[in-house]
Structure 1
Amino acid sequence: MPNPSRLQLFILVAFAGTLVDVASSAALAGDKPNIVVVFTDDQGYGDLGCFGSETIRTPRIDGLAREGTRFTSFYAQVVCGPSRSALLTGRYPVRSGGWSMPASEITVGQLLQKAGYTTGCIGKWDVSNRAAIPERMPNAQGFDYYYGTLGANDNGRVAIHENNKLLGPSQDMASLTQIYTDKSIAFLEANKDKPFFLYLAHTMVHSVIDASPNFKGRSEGGLYGDTVEELDHNTGRLLDAIDRLGLRDNTIVIFTTDNGPWNNFQEVLRKRHNGAIAWGSSGPLREGKGSTYEGGLRVPCIVRWPDQVPAGRVSDAIFSTLDFMPTFATLAGYEAPTDRVIDGIDQTELLLGKSEEGSREDFYYFCRNELHGVRRGMWKLILPDRKTFYGYVDDKGSQETELYDLQSDLGEKKNVVDQHPKVVEQLLAHAKAFRWPEKLIEPRIRLAPPKKR
């Protein structure tokens, strides 16, 4: 037989590589990964050991970071309801409605159900105006099982629902983290033999916080630190359950939070907690919850998927909760909606370590329905004449155009707008190019009172 030519060898090698890629894709499609999202509340960028905290011990979450990838340019939204509608729909809150998310929105839960997943939501819902409106509650929005509270705990009270049934009120804030974790573990145990999606949205560490007796007084970070350390312990319990059930290798675990810490509301929080520290840290970032400076919405994110997501890696690529829906589409085998704008971007290549920079080039910063700024690459532009702010945000900036190099100035301390006029011009054009919806949904936390006749 004659020796094969170089061209023939090249074709054979290329074909073999294609077969490997096809086989890998087929394996993913045939053995759909379980997906677990742990979503804490009001936890700051600097509130985990692996993100630099020196006063709060988080060994289990730090271990998760060693076993997976830690994302340092990860974005949620500036407050809780908008952050949840963005995660669930892959759409900025100006489209998805935040607290007022309409029943017509398509959630990641609904798409995963169609792809053969059993879905569970445990914890804080907060996209039905904190009201029991069945068509806007989890069971109607893509979740087979629900246990939790439809709203926040601002008054130190919550009303617990199981599916659509009201179980009753609770003022025991210290018990919520363990109860949610218990329910989550029970969900895993009941569904271990089929693909599942668990969305665990903790109430802690929001507004009125507390820790159980086993954790109170243990942390150097005060009551807030105690509560975060209890979250860490219970995250470890959930991870241990995944291991015990033999699910580790085929389960994607994501840990992140809904917005920055409420460190700009300290006096009110101190009074609510009898002088105790009840707020977190933005670490090196400017401002906190409610702000469109980085401290308001750049949050910790860790992703683990053994032998798929690189372990011990740190990525500074721009990534967001918006990206979960299209990324899960690739990993779980469904199609993202095509009848509406999806702001999320498929970040599968970034997650799997096949791309360092990822697929997201930009991120838009909103406060309610006002655009405050835009990021592209290392550059962040703050728009002038902003009018919409949350009342507790102290640092409202200069009200003029601001430009920051986030690569060298993470704390947004040096406005370099005068040194880079071309960059400013490009980013202003990019801000103007945002595709606004035809109609904006009023961002109300609760339903509007009925009009008097």
Structure 2
Amino acid sequence: MRSISSVLTCCFMLLVNVMPASLSLQAASPNVVVILTDDQGWGDLSVNGNSNLSTPHIDSLARDGATLNNFYVCPVCSPTRAEFLTGRYHPRTGVSGVSRGQERLNADEVTIADVMRQAGYATGAFGKWHNGTQPPLHPNYRGFDEYYGFTSGHWGHYFSPPLDHNGDTVRGDGFVVDDFTNHAIEFIQTNRDRPFFCYLPLNTPHSPMMVEDRFYDKFATKDLIMKHRDPDREDDLMTRAALAMCENIDWNVGRVLQTLDELNLADNTIVIYFSDNGPNSFRWNGGMKGKKGSTDEGGVRSPLFVRWPNRIQAGLQIEQVSGAIDLLPTISSLVGVTPEIEKAIDGRNMKPLLLEESVAWIDREIVSTWGKRISIRTQRFRLDAAGALYDIRNDRGQTVDVSAQYPDETKRLRKVADQHRQEFAADFKKYADRPFTVGFAAKTVLPARDAVEHGTIMRSAKPPNNSFFKHWTSIEDSITWDVDVVTAGVYKATLLYTCAAGDQGATVIVSVDEGDQAKATVTEVFDPPLYDKSKERVKDSHYFVKDFRPLEVGTLNLRKGRATLRLKSDKIVGQQVVDVHSIQLDRVRQ
């Protein structure tokens, strides 16, 4: 395992080399707004033929800009974000999953925000991050001056939940997508007189399927004309909720575009819109095979619209295959920045396609991977994860295996897939053993999702991302975090907990390996109700969210290096100890 200190040193070395010394920011440098949606399929837009809903503002980006008809992302959320941020296939960046630390983008990766900030741009991100929580992996340490949102893979409630504002916990204001958009608009207004890079990674239509009545009422009893290609697999409740959320997204996109118009910034702003994977349920998606989690067309084909008035021809249709890995080199080139990144970039600069420059475009392969599954897309074909070949130009739905008709191409692509499978497996192995960083900043939060439960302790939900721990019923139970202390010192440990009446009087102990420990007695009952779920539109939701309160447990003397941080108890008074949200470590002194 590479040491955290060596990774951080490399990270800073790369950052100072992002910009050539001779490059200076031009007053006319275009602004950039990137809107990324979560679990929205290619087919969840009226511009792509779905008559179940209307998305006029998003559709306008296609009408007024370029549409890339063969644009590919990853089967799930955090890998796509990593590929967009770095221009590199996600296994190379340390990202292998969506939770339990697998979603973390290595600290030595240079991001598009690093590139833009080094070029003099104001940088802000507003929404779902999903590439690391603890510094130096938090957005504020990855090139973003301003951050408002949540760093987890998904959030359990969408109405005024706790959120992160530049590392501090704040209370959200209203429906989260509207709230994130409000902050993005404020950022644009604040930075209207200088070039800005605004990243708006929205978190819908990812579950929980919560949306306001004013968007849902239209769909509550709507007859869904456009159906999934296998209609028996479609859940109409899920589809209705997803479509309502997509119309809410469209409304918010309209607000961003209106802001650019009102500030006279539209002509000098590049607006990019795409999604992070296929739809999160079986619903109409142009007849393509697969959904979220699949490496087939339906799982990885995403809409991509790029608008830049007077520079990109309105209504331009681009057929060349492209992917999320292409966005860093493309954005950099469009704004006139030449990033110097020591690591190899997998993506290509699409500027010649967007600006219709006369250059030869060499055919290529786009690799899609999830776990051990590898799929390869060329300009004409897709080799699927089972080794079958499909002529996507004539069979977007992958209905006829043509591998026998094209044996040479099948053999070649299977070899390409095997090569990437081996490379990615080596990457996954290399980055599998990574503790959570403590002490890079003065404050480190270790949430339940990054911990391991022992004994009778259970998670509140199967997906770890927004879960908390409950059912702590034995003094033999414990919760552990695998940590790497990068700055030795004295740290104050604070537990975020809830305690039911009758359970007060239990003890909580925070210890480091077999060394220093801090201990406190839970004296105050705090047992708030779960957040109201009346706006959730599907049955059997597994999301449970409530408020927690802090308990100062004491101070710990942390030595530099890898250790196990353990939460345990030696006294239970009632039914259990407490429910646990997280531990916060604040450095008191070095």
Per-residue deviation, 1:93:
1.0
Q: Which residue of 2 aligns with 1:18?
A: none
RMSD: 2.6
Q: Which residue of 2 aligns with 1:236?
A: 254
In structure 1, what residue type is equivalent to 2:191? N
In structure 2, what residue type is equivalent to 1:49? S
Q: Please tell me whether residue 102 in structure 1 is matched to residue 106 in structure 2.
A: yes
Per-residue deviation, 1:367:
0.6
Alignment of 1:45-56 (within 5 A): 45-56=42-53
- CA distance change for structure 1 residues 217 and 355 in 2, over 3 Å: closer, same or farther? farther
Q: Please tell me whether residue 185 in structure 1 is matched to residue 198 in structure 2.
A: no
Q: Which residue of 2 aligns with 1:415?
A: 401
- CA distance change for structure 1 residues 176 and 58 in 2, over 3 Å: closer, same or farther? same
Per-residue deviation, 1:80:
0.5
Residues 135-144 or 418-427, more deviating? 418-427
- CA distance change for structure 1 residues 60 and 355 in 2, over 3 Å: closer, same or farther? farther
Aligned equivalents of 1:195 and 1:358: distance in 2? 30
Q: Which residue of 2 aligns with 1:390?
A: none
Conservation of the 8 A alpha-carbon contact between 2:58 and 2:254: yes
Question: Gaps spanning 5+ residues in structure 1: where?
Answer: 1-25, 265-279, 385-400
Q: Which residue of 2 aligns with 1:118?
A: 122
Q: Please tell me whether residue 405 in structure 1 is matched to residue 391 in structure 2.
A: yes
Q: Secondary structure at the match of 2:34?
A: strand
- CA distance change for structure 1 residues 432 and 43 in 2, over 3 Å: closer, same or farther? same
Q: Secondary structure at the match of 1:94?
A: helix
Q: Secondary structure at the match of 1:286?
A: coil
Per-residue deviation, 1:371:
4.9
Conservation of the 8 A alpha-carbon contact between 2:65 and 2:306: yes
- CA distance change for structure 1 residues 29 and 358 in 2, over 3 Å: closer, same or farther? farther
In structure 1, what residue type is equivalent to 2:402? V
Per-residue deviation, 1:85:
0.8
In structure 1, what residue type is equivalent to 2:122? T
Q: Secondary structure at the match of 2:175?
A: helix
Aligned equivalents of 2:152 and 2:354: distance in 1? 31
Q: Which residue of 1 aligns with 2:274?
A: 256
Q: Which residue of 1 aligns with 2:245?
A: 227
Alignment of 1:163-182 (within 5 A): 163-168=166-171, 175-182=175-182
Q: Please tell me whether residue 32 in structure 1 is matched to residue 29 in structure 2.
A: yes
- Indicate the structure whose relative CO is greater, using CA pairs within 8 Å and at least 6 residues apart: 1
Q: Secondary structure at the match of 1:214?
A: helix
1:395-424: per-residue Cα shift (whole Å, max 9, x none)? xxxxxx200111000011111111111111
Q: Which residue of 1 aligns with 2:142?
A: 141
- CA distance change for structure 1 residues 355 and 178 in 2, over 3 Å: closer, same or farther? farther
In structure 2, what residue type is equivalent to 1:430? V
Residues 44-53 or 355-364, more deviating? 355-364
Conservation of the 8 A alpha-carbon contact between 1:75 and 1:299: yes
The match for 2:353 among 350, 355, 378 is 350
Q: Please tell me whether residue 436 in structure 1 is matched to residue 438 in structure 2.
A: no
Q: Which residue of 2 aligns with 1:292?
A: 295
Larger fraction in helix = 1
Aligned equivalents of 1:198 and 1:354: distance in 2? 27
Q: Which residue of 1 aligns with 2:470?
A: none
Aligned equivalents of 2:275 and 2:331: distance in 1? 18
In structure 1, what residue type is equivalent to 2:156? N
- CA distance change for structure 1 residues 217 and 85 in 2, over 3 Å: closer, same or farther? same
- CA distance change for structure 1 residues 217 and 357 in 2, over 3 Å: closer, same or farther? farther
Per-residue deviation, 1:338:
3.8
Per-residue deviation, 1:329:
2.0
Question: Gaps spanning 5+ residues in structure 2: where?
Answer: 1-22, 96-102, 225-239, 435-447, 453-480, 483-512, 515-590
Aligned equivalents of 1:259 and 1:176: distance in 2? 20
Q: Which residue of 1 aligns with 2:499?
A: none
In structure 2, what residue type is equivalent to 1:143? F
Q: Which residue of 2 aligns with 1:396?
A: none
Conservation of the 8 A alpha-carbon contact between 1:125 and 1:150: yes
In structure 1, what residue type is equivalent to 2:127? G
Normalised to the residue count of structure 2, the TM-score between the two structures is: 0.62
Q: Which residue of 1 aligns with 2:475?
A: none
In structure 1, what residue type is equivalent to 2:62? A
Aligned equivalents of 1:218 and 1:73: distance in 2? 31
Q: Secondary structure at the match of 1:203?
A: strand
Q: Secondary structure at the match of 2:205?
A: coil
- CA distance change for structure 1 residues 353 and 124 in 2, over 3 Å: closer, same or farther? same
Q: Secondary structure at the match of 1:404?
A: strand
Q: Secondary structure at the match of 1:100?
A: coil
- CA distance change for structure 1 residues 372 and 227 in 2, over 3 Å: closer, same or farther? same
Normalised to the residue count of structure 1, the TM-score between the two structures is: 0.80
Q: Which residue of 1 aligns with 2:378?
A: 376
Q: Which residue of 2 aligns with 1:73?
A: 70
- CA distance change for structure 1 residues 335 and 210 in 2, over 3 Å: closer, same or farther? same
Conservation of the 8 A alpha-carbon contact between 1:250 and 1:305: yes
- CA distance change for structure 1 residues 186 and 357 in 2, over 3 Å: closer, same or farther? farther
- CA distance change for structure 1 residues 237 and 36 in 2, over 3 Å: closer, same or farther? same
Conservation of the 8 A alpha-carbon contact between 2:74 and 2:300: yes
Q: Please tell me whether residue 367 in structure 1 is matched to residue 377 in structure 2.
A: no
Residues 230-239 or 213-222, more deviating? 213-222
Conservation of the 8 A alpha-carbon contact between 2:374 and 2:417: no
Aligned equivalents of 2:120 and 2:362: distance in 1? 27
Per-residue deviation, 1:223:
2.2
